[in-house]
């Protein structure tokens, strides 16, 4: 018996969310007194997975789409007491398909470790993350898909073994083109995000946003209208209909704080808002607020941060 964890990689390296998933699986497995089997297509650096709690690493040649991967994982679930999947774009397609194929009970948008086992009980974000609900997974195969960066990573001094297996799956669709976002820091995994909205007036003004992101090692993001008008790429659109982020620091510049925007960012641990309008709704969700003109505030902030970094 075991807890199965799906481990995603990108260009030969494991995603940060995959370490979080493995470490989630380990903590759940400890509650059930069982072991962790990490399933991955990449076994070259499997020792990294042992360090986050994988007792066994199973290398399989993964199909290209979520449906195919779900079918492959489903064939490994006979002995599984539970499955952990990071809620990445790929993970979000695997979870429901796996639950449907294996009669599993799935918690998406999960934001806690299991509160109990038998039945498995977890907390999840509900109503576009405006509420939190506690649910029980009563099926024979509980599947937990968690919000990346919401649980944290626990490193252990672990060892384990790596095996490979031949498992086939059918891709029911074909990926014909892939456009990779060009940002320096991947938005869904970023620990800090600098985001800007229509208050920036035009795409020519994003230089200061990129400078601020650069000095903080942050990813850049934007509100929906900004990507709709074409000022920024769609890969930067955050919110209810865009990417959901959960960084330690979210800086919102010239964004009003509409409910649909907040739905994708309100789980951020610290929110800083810069807006000329002291009545902007975003201030209600902010930990720190600056009422001021972004064109004055941001260059000063960049200078101050550079001076601070130079001095420390």
Binding site for ligand FAD (CB under 6 A): 197-199, 223-226, 239-242, 254-256, 258, 260-261, 264, 274-277, 280, 293-295
> Min. distance of Cβ 265 from ligand FAD in angstroms?
9
Shortest distance in whole angstroms from residue 283 CB to ligand FAD: 10
Closest separation in Å from C-beta 279 to ligand FAD: 9
For ligand FAD, the closer of residues 50 and 261 by Cβ is 261
Is the distance from CB of 38 to CB of 58 less than 8 angstroms?
yes
Return the number of the residue (10 or 295) whose C-beta is nearest ligand FAD: 295
Give the nearest distance from C-beta 203 to ligand FAD in angstroms.
13
Question: In the bound complex, what is the minimum distance in angstroms from residue 95's beta carbon to ligand FAD?
Answer: 21
Residue closer to ligand FAD (CB basis): 259 or 307: 259
In the bound complex, what is the minimum distance in angstroms from residue 5's beta carbon to ligand FAD? 29
Nearer to ligand FAD, 223 or 235 (CB): 223
* DSSP letters for the chain: -EEEEE--EETTEE-HHHHHHHHHHHHHHHHHT-EEEEEES--TTHHHHHTTT-SEEEE----SSHHHHHHHHHTTGGGEEEEEEE-SHHHHHHHHHHHHHHTEEEEEEE-S--SBTTTEEEEEEETTTTEEEEEEE-SSEEEEEE-TTSS---------EEEE-------SS----------SS-GGG-SEEEEE-GGG-SGGGTHHHHHHHHHHTPEEEE-HHHHHHTSS-GGGBBSTTSB----SEEEEES----HHHHHHHTT-SEEEEEES-TT-THHHH-SEEEES-HHHHHHHHHHHHHHHHHH-
- Of 158 and 183, nearer to ligand FAD (C-beta) is 183
CB-nearer residue toward ligand FAD: 77 or 226: 226
Q: What distance in Å separates the CA atoms of residue 119 and residue 140, rounded to the nearest whole number? A: 9
> Contact 152/25 with Cβ under 8 angstroms?
no
Least spacing, CB of residue 241 vs ligand FAD, in Å: 4
Closest CB to ligand FAD among residues 161, 228: 228
């Amino acid at each position: 018996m075991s807890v199965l964890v799906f481990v995603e990689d990108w260009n030969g390296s494991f995603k940060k969310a995959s370490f979080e998933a493995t470490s989630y699986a380990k903590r759940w497995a400890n509650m059930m007194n069982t072991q962790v089997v990490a399933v991955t297509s990449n076994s070259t650096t499997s020792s990294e997975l042992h360090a986050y709690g994988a007792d066994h690493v199973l290398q399989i040649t993964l199909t290209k789409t979520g449906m195919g991967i779900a079918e492959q994982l489903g064939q490994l679930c006979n002995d599984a007491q539970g499955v952990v999947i990071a809620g990445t774009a790929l993970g979000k397609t695997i979870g429901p398909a796996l639950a449907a194929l294996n009669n599993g009970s799935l918690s998406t948008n999960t934001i806690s470790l299991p509160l109990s086992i038998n039945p498995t009980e977890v907390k999840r974000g509900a109503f576009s993350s405006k509420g939190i609900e506690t649910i029980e997974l009563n099926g024979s195969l509980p599947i937990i898909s968690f919000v990346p960066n919401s649980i944290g990573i626990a490193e252990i001094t672990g060892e384990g073994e790596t095996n490979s297996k031949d498992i086939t799956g059918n891709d029911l669709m074909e990926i014909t083109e892939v456009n990779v976002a060009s940002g320096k820091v991947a938005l869904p995994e970023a620990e800090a995000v600098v985001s800007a909205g229509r208050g920036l007036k035009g795409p020519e003004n994003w230089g200061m946003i990129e400078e601020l992101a650069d000095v903080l090692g942050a990813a850049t993001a934007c509100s929906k209208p900004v990507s709709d008008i074409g000022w920024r790429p769609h890969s930067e659109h955050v919110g209810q209909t865009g990417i959901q982020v959960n960084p330690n620091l979210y800086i919102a510049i010239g964004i009003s704080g509409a409910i649909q925007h907040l739905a994708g960012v309100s789980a951020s641990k610290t929110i800083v808002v810069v807006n000329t309008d002291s009545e902007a709704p975003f201030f209600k969700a902010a930990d720190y607020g600056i009422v001021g003109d972004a064109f004055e505030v941001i260059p000063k902030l960049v200078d101050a941060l550079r001076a601070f970094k130079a001095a420390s």
